[in-house]
Structure formats: C-alpha cells, structure tokens
Amino acid sequence: MIKKIAAASIVGIVIIVSLAVAFSTEMEPQPEPQPESNAVSSHSMQGVIQPDVMTGGDVIMPTKVSRPGCEETDRCYIPSVITISAGESVTWVNEDSAFHSVTSGFYDAPQDLFDSGHMDPFDSYTLTFDEPGTIDYYCTLHPWMEGQVIVE
C-alpha cells in the first residue's frame, strides 16, 4: 500500500513539474526577415540566399516535392509560371524538408544565367530580373521540378 502511494506521489510530482515548465516557458519572438535582393540582368544573374525565411516569397517549393509526382499536378513550384515586370524580383522559398535548387534552363540543357546552389529547408533565394524574356528553371537534384519566369 505504501509503495502504491509513493508511486502515485512521484507520478503526481512529475505531472505538476511538467505542467509548470510548459506554462512558464515562453517562446522567444523571431525577428522579421529583411528582404534582400541583387539587381541582375541576363548577363550577370546572381541571387541572394536568405537562410531561415519561413514565410513570404513569390514561389514556394512545398513539402514532398522531392518525390516524383508533383509534376503531374503542376505543384513542384507554386506557382510554376510567374509573370513579372522588368526590374521586379522573384523569391523562391524552400518549404520542403529536402534540399532544392533554382537553376536556369532544363535538367538536360542547363543555362548559365543563375543557380541558387543547394538550398537548405526554409532557405530562400531572391533574384531581380531586369530584362524582358522567358526564363525556364529547374531543380538540379529533382529533374521533374520545373518552372518558368516570364519577364514583361
């Protein structure tokens, strides 16, 4: 009987301590990300990778696109085709748990206009397009992921 009371007391103490910790722990506010971009032309396209940006952006790489199949529903990049005016920026945000890239061209025909390199989960990549045209892009790690920027 004493062992049961002692065990129940210990369980009660553990629950009380757990609740106290849960209610006393406050989440630290996260600083607002500051947008960065580099103005580029088709002659020297270079972008900026911004680590740990979890919200915002013009094009999202959603979860589970590292598996084939997102191309069947046109959801590898959301949106897969984006139209902007010359001088505007596009920001790609990797919301997946896998690495991705934003690289000009196609998997079997890359172009040398821009390449984000491998983006960690929740990284973003911003690129400003100064000249009109249509630019195709893809993910170097997942060849089924394709998108397009139309600059007017």
Give a yes or no: residue 15 inside a domain.
Answer: no
Give a yes or no: residue 99 inside a domain.
Answer: yes
The closest of 103, 89, 101, 82 to 149, measured between CA atoms, is 82
Which segments are annotated as binding site for Cu cation? 100, 139, 142
Residue 111 backbone dihedrals phi, psi, to 5 degrees: -110, 160
Distance of CA 77 to the CA centre of its chain: 10
Distances, alpha carbon 94 to alpha carbons 12, 42, 90, 105, 118, in Å? 44, 23, 13, 19, 10
Give a yes or no: residue 6 inside a domain.
Answer: no
Over 70: is that where the pLDDT of 79 sits? Answer: yes
Find the CATH number of the domain harbouring 140: 2.60.40.420
Over 60: is that where the pLDDT of 62 sits? Answer: yes
Give the C-alpha separation, 16 to 8, whole Å.
12
Give a yes or no: residue 60 inside a domain.
Answer: yes
Give the C-alpha separation, 66 to 124, whole Å.
17
Give a yes or no: residue 43 inside a domain.
Answer: yes
Give me the numbers of helices (H) and strands (E) for the chain, helices first please: 1, 10
pLDDT tens column, 5-60: 544 455 445 444 444 444 444 444 444 444 443 334 333 455 555 444 333 349 99
Which segments are annotated as binding site? 100, 139, 142
Which residue range is the domain that position 49 belongs to?
Answer: 39-151
pTM of the model: 0.65
State the total domains in the chain: 1
